[in-house]
Structure 1
Amino acid sequence: MSPAEQVRGVDQAFLALERELAVFLRRARASSGEMAREVHPDLEPAAYGLLLRLDDAGQQRATDLAAYFGVGKATMSRQLRALEQLGLVARAPDPADGRAFLVQMTGEGRERFRSVRNARRAKYAHRLASWERNEVAELARLLRRLNSAAQAAGEDPT
């Protein structure tokens, strides 16, 4: 049976989306690993996204970070502990709730992260140099919409 016959009745647009997302995610994971190592040789690839969120949103509670990424509190605690040991983040008591802590990037963490992030943005600009600005904006808009739908449903966008 040919591949076309196997997928008869299946929406080809969704199959194409699945295929392209799989390639994109594989490349993104590899890229996150490289960028994490550039921030710090001992940094786990998944922790790069944490630094990205902290840089964008500022200090946050660990529970808020766990909810944002859709991971458990134990997973988030382990990742934050590793970042803290590397000197990239620090915890401070939450003035609004003495039982809770706020996580923020340290000066060194912010400096290392932003250096790598700026280099990554330059790579994106180079790769997409032939695209119109409105195409880049549309891609960002559609990805934000996909991520928002997944977050609202409480699931991973893939």
Structure 2
Amino acid sequence: MDKSSNTQADSQIKGLLDELARSSRILRVFSHMDQTDPEVSNASHHVLKTLNSREPTHAADLAQFLGIGTAAMSRHLAELEDSGLVAKRSSKIDARRHVLWVTEAGRAKLEFRDRLRLERMRGLLPDWDPERLTQISQALSELNDTMMRGIHSQRTEQFGTAGEAEHGQE
């Protein structure tokens, strides 16, 4: 690859990073618009949504999947348990670990917020081609998966396998 190709690729990657940062800020504002429960933060809602798709599971496994530290995960789970949205029991295999799942109240909360977000997005995108939305969704999914693999790989190099979840960031 020649120097001009590297410069162009660098420029494209910088543009992508700028748009991702902008998207992150916009999504944060968007999420706060439908904050329906002052006891459950948007970050904890994301943990709840992820748990719902991966249950039953353990806190450490969920933290590793999301790329956040176990201390942050503990805070989110405490918030969700206090609100009655997540339940846990001791693992039958290892009593030191807990198995987590989403309660019926948690599922109702997820449904309600998902419906709010869907209605809001539908209102913003009435003229968008469904095929384009599918392509964008697939591209973002691929990008997210690639970035998570990179994060896990770098953490493994820095901290070893056991340190991945311990040194994660929110």
Check whether TM > 0.5.
yes
| Corresponding residue for residue 87 of structure 1 | 84
TM-score, normalised to structure 2, is 0.77
Residues 8-157 of structure 1 mapped to structure 2, 5 A cutoff: 9=7, 11-35=10-34, 37-38=35-36, 40-154=37-151
Q: Return the letter of the residue paired with 2:47.
A: L
Q: How many residues end up aligned between the 2 structures?
A: 146
Q: What do the CA deviations read for 1:47-71 (whole angstroms, capped 9, x no partner)?
A: 1111111222222210011101111
Shift of 1:122: 2.1
Q: What do the CA deviations read for 1:94-136 (whole angstroms, capped 9, x no partner)?
A: 2343331111111112112211111211222232221211111
Q: What is the distance in 2 between the residues matched to 1:139 and 1:123?
A: 18
Tell me if the contact between 2:39 and 2:79 (Cα under 8 Å) persists in the aligned partners: no
Q: What is the distance in 2 between the residues matched to 1:152 and 1:65?
A: 15
Tell me if the contact between 1:32 and 1:46 (Cα under 8 Å) persists in the aligned partners: no
Q: Judging by fraction of residues, say which structure has more strand.
A: 1
Q: What is the distance in 2 between the residues matched to 1:135 and 1:83?
A: 35
Q: Return the letter of the residue paired with 2:11.
A: Q
RCO higher in structure (CA 8 A, sep ≥6): 2
Shift of 1:32: 2.6
Q: What is the distance in 1 between the residues matched to 2:88 and 2:123?
A: 37
Gaps of 5+ in 2: 1-6, 153-167
Gaps of 5+ in 1: 1-8
Which shows bigger deviation, 88-97 or 72-81? 88-97
Tell me if the contact between 1:93 and 1:99 (Cα under 8 Å) persists in the aligned partners: yes
TM-score, normalised to structure 1, is 0.82
Question: What is the percent sequence identity of the aligned residues?
Answer: 27
Q: What is the distance in 1 between the residues matched to 2:47 and 2:60?
A: 13
